[in-house]
Chain A
């Protein structure tokens, strides 16, 4: 089916999230939410698990033009289930009009998505709940000052994985949420990036034609957590795709396709070198072993994809 979003210029102009939030200047997550809500349009309800984005509305202010619901960290998908089921009941029984219906969006960080909320998400996907899920993956618990989450990349430094002589930041690998979600065979799961808004719009549009779980994992640069200047957010997100660290892909009913493929990938150290959280890999001495290992991991991934 043809896309309404041929170029960036086709972006919906109506803002669903108005200015004035308490989020950091240059927050990657804020940009993702802004674009996602534009694509959903009015008549959405955002079910927000505790995390940075749950500070979007703080009494008595809200930037949202549509409904928003703050839920405990572990159970946003369960609230989505309750809202969706209730709307269906009310529509069935003609107690509300079709125009009252809402698109249900679960919005959580990677901590809730990969850790404490994974059970509730698995349940919702398993039940075939018709909802969108946007996980803004800033690779740490940013709301509490950036501690390691299950989504923190290997060798990254966080407040709870400080680099020392013994360990190179986080010694654990990033949890592969895409594969975990995909194993449930939802109709749609995709990765997105704030540097590839066109790709993102196409994916949201495509998912919008499907019923059931529509799941998105968004690379979400976090200036204070990653130790980057706020203006570099898009550049760094772009580098993550160009180096192959953040593959852009989708899976329809479990079938994976990569949507952006850079035949010639930049070396991963170009990405790593932009961020304070990887600085210990370069200073005081270059940690060749770790950098090489990370390059190898990325190469292995893409070799398997391109085979």
Chain B
């Protein structure tokens, strides 16, 4: 059984990607399970989806613990503290990732020994690769890696995309995009079944004092410990020469990302910024620009 685990951000079309891959495999005559992992995820938050593909009936359910192929739609996820997809791979898992880094840079930066396939969607027109079309590109790259025929991908996309009410022109454009991505990905790593058993003994749970074992949080304001920033590829930069210290950016930031320096200039906490761009739009003198997030 081939287990494909997809990781992206809410709003990128990762669920659609899993459906395109699932349907393509289904059309090829395989047994398939696909499943998005719904949680409290919001636009921009890390999310995942799973596809299982097998020649035999599938006797598995739920999340994938032993991915054959780990697909990562956005390399900012590798910086994530709480939901890092690299933590979930096994030795022989093939990693397919959308990044501008080269294979060797990636391997050394994250000390990765796994077989790697990189593709760089940044080469495409950002309008095309804007969410949620990203999912379509990711699906195409995945199908290529799984050595599926593009014709299956095309059929699958027609089925899935009309299901989410895309019109004919949009579907044609999406297929065109998928083909370009499909052709761009150089496969060469074989995706194999990865053993699923990880042993862990049974824990004997004892009674704990209710002060501990009641579901409450006695820490305060600790949400900064979770990955939050890097939700977007962009970050606001302020031109301090022209900033009038009017505080508008500070007031309107929904995420409390602004503080002030000793001279009263606004300072962005980039770990807290979700890149909503409200501050840029509202700055009355237009001195905030959006810059692609530093990749290093």
When chains A and B are docked, how far (Å) is the Cα of A300 from the Cα of B246?
38
Note all chain A residues with C-beta closer than 8 A to B254.
23, 25-28, 30-31, 34, 233
Dominant SS among interface residues on chain B: loop
CB distance from B211 to the nearest CB of A (A): 15
B257: chain A residues within 8 A (beta carbon): 19
Q: A17-B256, A55-B40 are in contact. Are A60 and B219 (CB under 8 A)?
A: yes
User: Is B23's beta carbon under 8 Å from chain A?
Assistant: no
Q: Which of A21, A34, A55 has the most CB of B within 10 A?
A: A21
Question: Which B residues lie within 8 Å of A22 (CB)?
Answer: 40-42, 45
Cβ B277 vs Cβ A230 within 8 A: yes
Complex Cα spacing A24 to B11, Å: 10
Contact A61 B226, beta carbon cutoff 8 Å? yes
A64 to B256, CA, bound (A): 12
Whether a CB of chain B sits under 8 angstroms from the CB of A94 is no
Q: Residue A8 at the B interface, CB < 8 A?
A: yes
When chains A and B are docked, how far (Å) is the Cα of A234 from the Cα of B282? 8
Q: In the bound complex, how far is the Cα of B256 from the Cα of A27, in angstroms?
A: 12
Asked whether any CB of chain A lies closer than 8 Å to the CB of B73, the reply is no
Contacts of A209 in B (CB 8 A): none
**A18-B224, A25-B43 as given contacts; A62 in contact with B217, CB under 8 Å:** yes
B220: Cβ under 8 A from any A Cβ? yes
Return the contact of A26 from the options B41, B246, B278 (Cβ within 8 A): B278
Choose the segment among B110-118, B181-189, B268-276 that binds chain A (4+ C-beta atoms closer than 8 Å): B268-276
The reply to whether the CB of A232 lies closer than 8 angstroms to some CB of chain B is yes
Residue total for B at the interface (Cβ-Cβ under 8 A): 45
* Size bracket of the A interface: 35 or more
A26 touches B220 (CB 8 A): no
Q: Which residues of B contact A55 (CB under 8 A)?
A: 40, 42
**C-alpha spacing A63/B254, complex, angstroms:** 13
CB distance from A137 to the nearest CB of B (A): 16
A55 → B minimal CB distance (Å)? 5
Interface residues of B in 94-109 (CB under 8 A from A): none
CB–CB B215/A20 < 8 A = no
Q: Is A65 an interface residue (CB 8 A)?
A: yes
Pair A231/B276 contact, Cβ less than 8 Å? yes
Picked from A31, A58, A59, A224, the residue with its CB within 8 Å of the CB of B252 is A31
CA of A64 to CA of B222 in the docked complex: distance in angstroms?
Answer: 8
228-260 of chain B: CB within 8 A of chain A: 228-229, 231-232, 246-248, 250-257, 260
B217 proximity list for chain A (CB < 8 A): 57, 59-62
Query: Chain A: which residue is nearest B253 at the CB level?
Result: A31
Instruction: Name the one of B44, B231, B281 contacting A231, with C-beta atoms under 8 angstroms.
Output: B281
Q: A40 to B281, alpha carbons, bound, how many Å?
A: 28
CA distance A52 to B45 in the complex (A): 14
Q: Does B225 contact A (CB under 8 A)?
A: yes
| Chain A CB within 8 A of B56 CB | no
Partner of B256 from A18, A25, A234 at Cβ < 8 Å:
A18
Q: Which residues of B contact A194 (CB under 8 A)?
A: 252
Q: A241: shortest Cβ distance to chain B, in Å?
A: 15
Q: Is B18 an interface residue (CB 8 A)?
A: no
Closest to A63 in B: B223
Bits for B1-27, please: 1 = Cβ < 8 Å to A, else 0: 000000000110000000000000000
19 more A-B contacts (CB under 8 A) besides A24-B43, A55-B40? A13-B260, A18-B224, A20-B223, A21-B255, A22-B45, A25-B44, A27-B254, A28-B254, A30-B255, A61-B222, A63-B256, A65-B220, A223-B43, A224-B11, A224-B43, A230-B43, A230-B276, A231-B277, A231-B281
Q: Which 3 A-B pairs give the minimum distances between C-beta atoms? A: A20-B223, A19-B272, A26-B276
